[in-house]
């Protein structure tokens, strides 16, 4: 193997990440972009052209300077700088096993700490907002309704939804959707009877299509992209907000629907273990963030504790609707 910087980087991006690590094309592209930026930094700070850069130039001092350059010259946030640092660390971890003579260069960089970042608030919407949103989608097209209903019901990541093929949908009981997530890991997610009905109407339009046909396409017949899904969601959100400003926020992102599904399941008393599997998290620790940031769960816990001490509160749960009423009652 060519152990020059360019040779190692080429093998890392073209072979190691996609074939050995099973990284998604998006991850490979993100790592590639990190090194494109480092090469620009090297040209300015080290006065080296890309073909002159060596592994030794990825010293702790240079990488620290690179991160500072990203903040000062490009205005990158701490989270973005951490992503670039992760790409460099991953590459040097690979270099250590392919070219051990560079271990002395790699170790100090691998020990560099990530920048502290503020955890963003977990944004989610109510079941009433989801129902209003799907009402707008239903009025637009069977495709839009199927797309947004499936996005919410499966708590899929937007790329997972974009990648869905016809063969990934199983409508016969037990009805499931096979999602392919990070690291090309797949998981079978159950879907409700109401969504089965919605998906049946959408699939009827694709009758006869090969199994590897993308489930959702844009107006030109091309596979839908993440940007396309976000655009469709934004358009229906704007219409729903205009009709129901009291319950529908002005902006809803695809990931907010994923957060919303998890939060609604937690409010309904579903075990975190099942929600972890639905979301495709490796550890339940990741899923616990929904319980920690959901004010409704905190209020219920406090309410229950208070009831045990001072008796029944004025708050009653008798009128609480079932989690799926928003979909069952769609017309």
Strands (E), the chain: 169-170, 176-180, 186-190
DSSP β-ladder status, 186-190 and 176-180: antiparallel
Q: Is 258 designated active site?
A: yes
CA distance 114 to 33: 19
Query: In b/e form, how buried is each residue of 256-270, taking b as 16+ CB within 10 angstroms?
Result: bbbbbbbbbbbbeee
- 278 burial via Cβ count (<10 Å: 0-12, 13-18, 19+): buried
Residue 66's closest CA among 30, 90, 36? 36
170 within 8 A of 177, measured Cβ to Cβ: yes
Read off the tokens for 132. 């209003």
Residue 265's closest CA among 251, 253, 281, 276? 276
Q: Which of 10, 32, 182, 300 is catalytic?
A: 182
36's enclosing H/E stretch is helix 25-41
Q: Which of 258, 259, 264, 276 is catalytic?
A: 258
ω into residue 120 within 30 of 0, thus cis?
no
CA angle 43, 48, 51 (to 5 degrees): 110
81 within 8 A of 69, measured Cβ to Cβ: no
Q: Which of 157, 202, 236, 241 is catalytic?
A: 157
Cα–Cα distances in angstroms (integers) from residue 30 to residues 13, 19, 139, in the given order:
10, 16, 38
Q: Is 182 designated active site?
A: yes
Q: Is 16 designated active site?
A: no
Cα–Cα distances in angstroms (integers) from residue 158 to residues 142, 163, 220, 250, 273, in the given order:
19, 9, 20, 19, 22
Q: Would you name the residues annotated as active-site residues?
A: 157, 182, 255, 258, 281, 290
């Amino acid at each position: 193997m060519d152990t020059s910087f360019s040779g190692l980087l080429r093998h890392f991006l073209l072979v190691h990440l996609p074939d050995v690590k099973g990284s998604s094309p998006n991850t490979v592209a993100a790592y590639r972009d990190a090194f494109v930026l480092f090469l620009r930094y090297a040209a300015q700070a080290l006065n080296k052209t890309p073909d002159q850069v060596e592994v030794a130039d990825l010293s702790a001092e240079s990488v620290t300077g690179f991160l500072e350059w990203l903040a000062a010259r490009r205005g990158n946030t701490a989270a973005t700088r951490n992503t670039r640092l992760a790409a460099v660390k991953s590459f040097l971890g690979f270099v250590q096993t392919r070219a051990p003579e560079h271990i002395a260069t790699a170790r100090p960089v691998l020990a560099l700490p990530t920048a502290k970042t503020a955890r963003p608030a977990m944004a989610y919407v109510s079941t009433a907002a989801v129902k209003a949103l799907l009402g707008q989608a239903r009025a637009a097209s069977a495709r839009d309704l199927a797309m947004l209903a499936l996005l919410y019901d499966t708590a899929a990541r937007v790329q997972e939804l974009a990648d869905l093929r016809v063969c990934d949908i199983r409508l016969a009981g037990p009805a499931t959707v096979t999602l392919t997530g990070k690291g090309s890991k797949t998981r079978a997610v159950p879907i409700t009877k109401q969504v089965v009905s919605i998906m049946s109407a959408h699939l009827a339009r694709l009758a006869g299509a090969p199994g590897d046909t993308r489930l959702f396409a844009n107006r030109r017949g091309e596979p839908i992209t993440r940007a396309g899904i976000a655009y469709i969601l934004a358009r229906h959100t704007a219409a729903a907000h205009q009709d129901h400003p009291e319950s529908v926020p002005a902006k809803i992102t695809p990931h907010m629907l994923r957060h919303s599904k998890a939060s609604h399941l937690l409010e309904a008393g579903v075990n975190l273990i099942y929600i972890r599997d639905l979301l495709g998290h490796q550890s339940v620790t990741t899923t616990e963030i929904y319980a920690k940031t959901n004010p409704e769960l905190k209020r219920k816990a406090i309410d229950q504790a208070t009831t045990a001490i001072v008796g029944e509160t004025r708050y009653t749960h008798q009128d609480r609707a079932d989690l799926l009423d928003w979909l069952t009652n769609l017309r």
